Structure 1
Amino acid sequence: MDKRFKPLLDYRQFGYWLYDEHRNLVQLVEHLRACTDLLDPSNPRHLALVLDLTWLDLASLCHAIHAIRSAHVSNPDRGLQGVPVRRHRRPDLLPQAPRADHQGHASA
């Protein structure tokens, strides 16, 4: 393969596995974008390389979806890993100020 593909090949072999999972979604696209002028869709080796990177991108998407689903967005008390999180309450900034009920009447 052409030496100009070395950064992309190095990313596929090493960088993908060393970057944090959430960074691969952007890094893979950036590495491919840098080689767009070099890639030839009629070249079987180039096609194989792009397909291989597509599988890695799919794996990154699966990791991202898993992280989103694990976040329990609808229940923040569950935290990011499904483990209940102990949240500390911030002390009230206004000590015992009169509060209004749903009709606007002040209560003590």
Structure 2
Amino acid sequence: AVNVNGKFIATDVSPIIKDGRVLFPIRTLASLGVTYQWDSKSQSALITKGKDQIKLTANKKEAFKNNQAVQVYVPVQMTQGRILVPFRFVSENFGYKANYEKIRS
């Protein structure tokens, strides 16, 4: 489950854990006030909040924040026809804090 500021957010595809990192459906970003565009040709997502932008590409560990290269531990994944992005990476790069609750997974 995804919990944003004490409110559980419904997702059409469950978040997954890959290499110790939580990935969640990109559509869930709306709950953070973030917008995104998916380019199916390049398999990349451009995620925007205010003046900040992050570009993530499927299966690549290099991302770009405001056109500066940064490393991401786990790249964007495609599963069940959905785009999953690394939750901590995205949320913290937009100034949010992310916590994993072991008790609830």
Q: TM-score normalised to the size of structure 2?
A: 0.21
Structure number with the bigger relative contact order (C-alpha 8 A, sep ≥ 6) is 2
Q: TM-score normalised to the size of structure 1?
A: 0.21
